[in-house]
Amino acid sequence: MIEEIHLFGIYMPAALAWGVVSIVLVYLLREPLQRFPIYRLLWHPSLLEVALFVLLWWGLSFLADTFLHSWLAA
Amino acid sequence: MLHRQNITRSLATLIVLLVILGGIYALWLRYQVEPVTRDGKVRADMVPIAADVGGLVTEVKVADNQAVARGDVLFVIDRPRYRLALEEAEANVASQEIALAQASREDRRNHAMTEVIAGEQIEQGRARVDELRAKMGQAIAARNLARFNLERTLVRAPVAGVVSNVSLQPGVYLTAGKPALALVYSKSMRVEGYFEETKLPAIRVGDPASIYLMGVADEIQGHVQSIAGGVEDRERMGADGQLANVNPSFTWVRLAQRIPVRISVDKIPPQVRMIPGQTATVVVHPRTDGRSIHRSLPW
């Protein structure tokens, strides 16, 4: 389990790092997603972005814990 | 047609909302519930080494951060002075011995001539022998104490460990009982994880744990040895026997307190060095032994 990440001597919780990464990813994914008709299916299209952000955040944590960690330990 | 589209939209929105809530729940479990803490500290018991007898330090036999075995001499205190004290005590014993021998001889003579010597004088002689015998005992005890003190001028390591923060130099005057250097008891090395009380229900004694020192990738293996029996109630002041003095608090925000959980170290990778005071991340892996944890949800 990766619990903290350090950048230039500052140790921060891994959650913060994955959160920032997922914000950036969602921002980048916004434009391609808007071409899909799924946006017309929702009352509030921005909800999809929020969902995407939460899923990415959790997914990145999960992937980092399962893969990145064993790769680092190897 | 329009009506149907509205229903689809509502359904899709609802699903997306549920996905958001599910994701938040998963994140909450991952970061708030699983027994992980970044607030761990490597700890070891420390023995402050103090001299049992006072005096000038004449020799320091250890260097800073040196590993010592149990019984090794750490530093030496003014041996000549204590040797002189022992010599004095020995001379005292010898002088008492002579006095006792003389008194005994007189006593024996007195007893042999009971016709010419007054009973009172014989009694006095007898009492003098007893008194001198008692004094002899005192002198012997004083000599043994002097010998003991001389032995104690060699300050030895009571446990195996590493001496730390040694700035002692020959010439320093030490009073008895004043700590002169710190000895870290290596065997007591462990990690204390300060877990939020909200994470505590998942931790049981004996659970395996992984420890990661700050900046070290290798995993140190351990297990939960014990959980603290109590922590200070920070809201309450005042001694026993007085009325309770509870802090007036404005409790919009309450923070989980941290409870020390003692992790004993089972296996250290060869290249990893543990130093008391280091920061560590502790991950406890709850065993699947059919335990049930009734944990409150975020509300």
For residue B276, which of B160, B166, B214, B186 has the smallest C-alpha distance? B186
Q: Where are the alpha helices (DSSP H) in chain A?
A: 14-34, 45-63, 69-73
Asked if the Cβ–Cβ distance from A51 to B23 is below 8 Å, we say yes
| φ and ψ of B208, to 5 deg | -65, 150
Q: Where are the domains of chain A?
A: 4-73
> From the CB of residue B28, how many other CB atoms can be counted at a distance below 10 Å?
13
Nearest CA in chain A to B36: A3
**Are the C-beta atoms of B143 and B92 separated by less than 8 Å?**
yes
pLDDT of residue A39: 67
pLDDT of residue B208: 92
Contacts of B26 in chain A (CB under 8 A): 58
Contacts of A48 in chain B (CB under 8 A): 16
Least confident of A45-59, B1-15, B273-287: B1-15
pTM above 0.80, yes or no: no
Statement: residue B138 has pLDDT above 70: yes
Q: How far apart are CA B195 and CA B257, in angstroms?
A: 8
pLDDT of residue B249: 75
Q: Does A68 touch chain B (CB under 8 A)?
A: no
What is the average pLDDT across B264-287? 89
In one-letter notation, the amino acid at residue B68 is V
For residue B193, which of B153, B157, B228 has the smallest C-alpha distance? B228
| φ and ψ of B134, to 5 deg | -65, -40
Q: How far apart are CA B39 and CA B256, in angstroms?
A: 13
Residue with tokens 């921005």: A46
Nearest beta carbon to residue B214 from set A11, A38, A62: A11
**Alpha carbon A41 to its chain's center:** 24
Angle CA B221–B224–B230, to nearest 5: 145
pLDDT: which is higher, B279 or A35: B279
Q: With b meaning 16 or more CB within 10 Å and e meaning fewer, what string describes B67-83?
A: ebeeeeebbbbbeebbe
Statement: residue A44 has pLDDT above 80: no
pLDDT of residue B1: 59
- Supply the ipTM of this predicted assembly: 0.78
Statement: residue A72 has pLDDT above 60: no
Positions of E strands within chain B = 36-43, 46-50, 55-60, 67-68, 73-77, 154-156, 161-164, 173-174, 179-185, 190-196, 208-213, 220-227, 236-237, 245-246, 258-267, 279-284
The residues facing B191 across adjacent strands are B42, B263
pLDDT of residue B244: 84
Nearest beta carbon to residue B13 from set A4, A44, A72: A44
Statement: residue B142 has pLDDT above 80: yes
pLDDT: which is higher, B202 or B185: B185
User: Considering chain B, what is the average pLDDT of its residues?
Assistant: 88
Q: Does A3 touch chain B (CB under 8 A)?
A: yes
Nearest CA in chain B to A11: B214
Nearest beta carbon to residue A57 from set B13, B27, B210: B27
pLDDT of residue B149: 93
Taken in order B74, B188, B211, B31, the sign of the CA dihedral is negative
In tens, the pLDDT along B12-56 reads 888 888 988 988 888 888 877 788 888 899 999 999 999 899 999
